[in-house]
Amino acid sequence: MLNAPSAGNGNLRCYNMFPAHFKNIDEMTKYLSRLHQYRINAVWINPVHLSGEFVLNKTDMLTGQSQQLKGSLYAMADATLIDPRFSVVARDEEGDMTPTRKQIRKLGNYDPKIIEQCKDLRLKLRRLKINISQKEQEVARNTSSNKRKNSSEVAKTITSLSSQLTTLETKKHSLEENYNHVMAQQQTWIRLLDSRAMKAFTTRAKQLGITPMFDVVLNHLAVDAPFIEQNKELFNFDDKTYPDTTAFSYSKLLGTLRGAPYPVAEQELALQQIPQIINVYWRPFIDLYVKQWGFSAARIDCVGKIPQQLRSAVYDLIRQGVAEQENPGPVIILEEALFSNMTPQEFVSKVKNAGATHITGSSYYAEREWHGGLRGNYNQEDYYKQTMAQHGVVNFTGNHDHYSCAMTVCRQLAFERLRDNQSLYDSYQAFIQEKETANYAPLSEAALEVIKSTFIHFYVQQIIAELHDPDHYNDTINRFGIAFRDRFLTNVYAGSGGYFMLSGDEFASFDQPSVFIRANGEPVYPNKQLGIFTSPLKNIAARVVHDMAVQAVTNKKFNTVFTRLTAADQEIFLSSFIANIYNELNAGIEKTTDRFWDAIESKADAISPAMRDYYDIPCSFENRWNAPQSLQAFASVGFLAETNNIMSRLPPSKIGFWSEIFKAVNNEILIAVRLNGPGYDARPDVIIQNMNPHKPIHFSRQDLEKIALWLQKRGFPQEDASSVAQQSADYHKAYGCIMGSTTYQQRPANLYFAGRLELDSDIEEYHVDIDGTQHTFDIVVEPLPEQQEPLLSPALPKVIPETYSNEILKSIFGSAMTGQSPTLELLDSPQTEQNDVSKDLLLRFSAMKLQCAMLPEVPKSTSTPVATSSASHSESESSDFFDSSFDDENKSWSDCSSEGGEDRGMATFDEDSDEDELLRDIRKLSGQRSAFFK
């Protein structure tokens, strides 16, 4: 039996493993070891099923430009197939599988003739359809002619053609049956390999104490999903909320039709259809994820549209399935409750409690006030939503519907630079005013965001460029890094139920997540580039792109504002249009590329084939999703592990929880005050975290008193602090909940320290007398030295001679490749004694394995707790899911300094491994710097 995670304080420390950030499911599985170093306790993957093909126009969030997109992860076409974007099975240009030797061995009954038959039948069908189309056109032409001439000859021709069409249609039907049969066999193989990969993902997650969470999109399916055509009566075709999807009929229960509730009769029918829809669709779906693949948690999309009756029934199915698992963990049901125009009270009243464990909050949108606190009443939202979820509200650092944490910060700083450019900022405001005047109403938040994206794009790119240039822009880097930590930590500590982070946020990456792909199948943000942009013709190419951008501006709604700008501001304004054209060119958008090459050919003669080729720009976790190296000090393993350690040590939240988040000491220290009950009676948990990794800060009792005074003033603003208010109990309790109070019998707060802090001894010496007993601050977490991650591992001084055969390598490195430590017998064996290089290599290979593989290999079929490696804290894999223990004795996060685990590139044998691949790894690792510290 595996080591299942167990429930603790209820705080979710979740990682949103966005599928498009990874090559496939296997790569997601490998990355789980790093999440363990972060002390993550849940991993959520967005939908990975086969998506729809409906093409729609969407606005690019970064450039504000319109694009033709399809394939949303949230428009599911076939729940039984993994989308080729994430499948472990590679496909060729026609979509047929191209399995590896390892995969062929796993299948056992694989027959390449099936693939050949698929291609042959597909070609015959394609030709036959062309023939049928031509015959149909002939029939149409002759029918039109016969209407004018009424010729018997033409009539005979029509009859003959119709007969031929019937024969061809019969042949097509037969070919389609044969094609569907062989394709079904191919899809069976694909499903089997992907199912094994999904099962391996959940197994590995649970071995590491991480609960795997899948995404459930209950509201709709892709508009072209075959299930809709077969079950039309179960869908609501009046719901046009998402053009690429069709909503289930139960959407009528909470939705509206032209602004009014659906007729009662339709609502009653929709309610009656819920059990049927569950049985024919959602029960098999949940069985696949929970019973077959081993997921034990779910994120529920768009709950504001899903009736309580359906959600309750689905949650029961999930819990029942998890209970039947071999290693059942805590069931997590995270409800996504964003994008609602209802107040928190209205939302709770309408959507209702369906038995979720967590629900999302919106502190992500809160901006800081002048006094350092957050604008908006996110605590009120938390208070009401707690009544819908057992463990409270979960906020997020980044979101696939918005931006990464780093991009969110970058856009804020970019907007500051826009404001500093008074002429351009005036044009920005004037443009908004003109649009609102024309619409006779304020613009929506989405429309305002599009306009902002267009105006700030230049400054966003400017800031990113500066972050990649630490020699000249150190001030930008430090300011950005602290602002990044501020936003990240604010959303971690603000909610009653924890948080989730978007993949890439661990590195402060700017890589923009998109649930869509382009209409031609390419990524929205392509990770490849035309060769001409790095060729001798790059300047000509840049000028052509610039001219195309000018033409795009003058042909669009921004023409008027563009012509009013100064020449310098026009160049700034063109930035988003230029970026959009580059994206379309690198994605191979035909219309844009044709115009581009026509212009290039008119300006240059020597255009080589290499200039028309595309070259990959690597963007993966191995290069930190291209995050600036300068931010590595701010977005490090140690920072995340220390933060999540605090989250694991906090007490469970209760109804009435509220928090205040603010900054102190030159805005470099973040203060989070969390109270587990209304008012000031509950003993608070106070988190004090230095956000500057380069500068230690001294912290004393006087600083704690300042926190108490700030909290007091926050609850009782100066204008309200009358003599009556100052004499009230709550006024004094606001101060006493931090520092303690003899009068109101309040103990001093629980303290949690993080970052580079030097604590004054007067903090431990401070006490308050209550009923004859001295009560001190409880320091739950002390500050630990935050270690930075090394950029490179030590270089290996010697390499394996190329003359060494694979047999020699296996004899030398056999134990190391199986994950074992080198034994004395192996080191003294004849093979190694014959060559000092061999012995030295074995020692260094094994040492490198111990250095890089910070996480131990977990046995596949045992329930024995796993011992940690010789790191600075000891934690078995049986640690609690919500509240894992941490050894404070060593006061170090040195065990988190490695970027990888044993999954990342280390050669290990298992029953499915390809020996040739492992031996290539050994040769590579012996002669190159380790990939673990990129």
Q: Is the distance from CB of 97 to CB of 115 less than 8 angstroms?
A: yes
Query: Average of pLDDT values for 765-788?
Result: 89
How many contiguous H segments (helices) and E segments (strands) does the chain have? 30, 29
Could you count the other beta carbons within 10 Å of the beta carbon of residue 211? 28
pLDDT given at position 897: 34
Q: How many CA atoms does the CB half-sphere of 76 hold within 13 Å?
A: 23
Buried b (16+ CB within 10 A) or exposed e, 695-709: eebebebebbeebbe
Contacts of 847 (CB under 8 A, 6+ apart): none
How far apart are alpha carbons 516 and 271 in whole angstroms?
32
For 420-461, the pLDDT digits (tens) are: 999 999 999 999 999 999 999 999 999 999 999 999 999 999
Q: Is a pLDDT exceeding 80 seen at residue 499?
A: yes
| Nearest Cα to Cα of residue 220 among 231, 235, 233 | 235
pLDDT given at position 157: 86
How far apart are alpha carbons 788 and 790 in whole angstroms?
6
Q: Is a pLDDT exceeding 90 seen at residue 899?
A: no
157-166, 718-727, 896-905 — most confident range? 157-166
| Nearest Cα to Cα of residue 39 among 791, 672, 782, 896 | 896
For 843-874, the pLDDT digits (tens) are: 445 444 444 433 333 333 333 332 323 333 33
Query: Average of pLDDT values for 11-39?
Result: 97
Q: Is a pLDDT exceeding 90 seen at residue 594?
A: yes
How far apart are alpha carbons 694 and 630 in whole angstroms?
12
Confidence band of 152 (pLDDT split at 50, 70, 90): confident
Block residue for tokens 């849940």 = 42
Could you count the other beta carbons within 10 Å of the beta carbon of residue 732? 17
Confidence band of 256 (pLDDT split at 50, 70, 90): confident
What letter does residue 827 receive in the DSSP assignment? H
Cα separation values, 442 from 65, 424, 427, 478, 560, Å:
21, 21, 17, 37, 20
Complete domains list, the chain, with CATH: 13-85+199-396 (3.20.20.80), 421-497+520-625 (no CATH), 631-781 (no CATH)
More confident residue, 288 or 374: 288
pLDDT given at position 354: 97
How far apart are alpha carbons 622 and 897 in whole angstroms?
15
Q: Is a pLDDT exceeding 50 seen at residue 282?
A: yes
Query: Average of pLDDT values for 729-740?
Result: 94
Q: Is a pLDDT exceeding 60 seen at residue 46?
A: yes
Confidence band of 175 (pLDDT split at 50, 70, 90): very high
| Nearest Cα to Cα of residue 799 among 710, 925, 711, 649 | 925
Q: Using CB atoms within 10 Å of the CB of residue 930, give its burial: 0 to 12 exposed, 13 to 18 middle, 19+ buried.
A: buried
Buried b (16+ CB within 10 A) or exposed e, 357-386: bbbbbbbbebebeeebbbeeebbebbbbbb
pLDDT given at position 726: 57
Q: Is a pLDDT exceeding 60 seen at residue 130?
A: yes
Q: Is the distance from CB of 52 to CB of 224 less than 8 angstroms?
A: yes
Query: Average of pLDDT values for 135-155?
Result: 83
Q: Which residues pair with 396 in a beta bridge?
A: 500
Confidence band of 68 (pLDDT split at 50, 70, 90): very high
Could you count the other beta carbons within 10 Å of the beta carbon of residue 898? 24
How far apart are alpha carbons 812 and 831 in whole angstroms?
7
Query: Average of pLDDT values for 642-666?
Result: 93
Could you count the other beta carbons within 10 Å of the beta carbon of residue 624? 21
Q: How many CA atoms does the CB half-sphere of 850 hold within 13 Å?
A: 11
Query: Average of pLDDT values for 253-270?
Result: 92
pLDDT given at position 147: 74
Confidence band of 623 (pLDDT split at 50, 70, 90): very high
3-class DSSP state of 485: helix
Average pLDDT, the chain: 85
Q: Using CB atoms within 10 Å of the CB of residue 471, give its burial: 0 to 12 exposed, 13 to 18 middle, 19+ buried.
A: exposed
Confidence band of 886 (pLDDT split at 50, 70, 90): very low
Contacts of 85 (CB under 8 A, 6+ apart): 19, 20, 71, 517
Confidence band of 340 (pLDDT split at 50, 70, 90): confident
* The model's pTM: 0.84
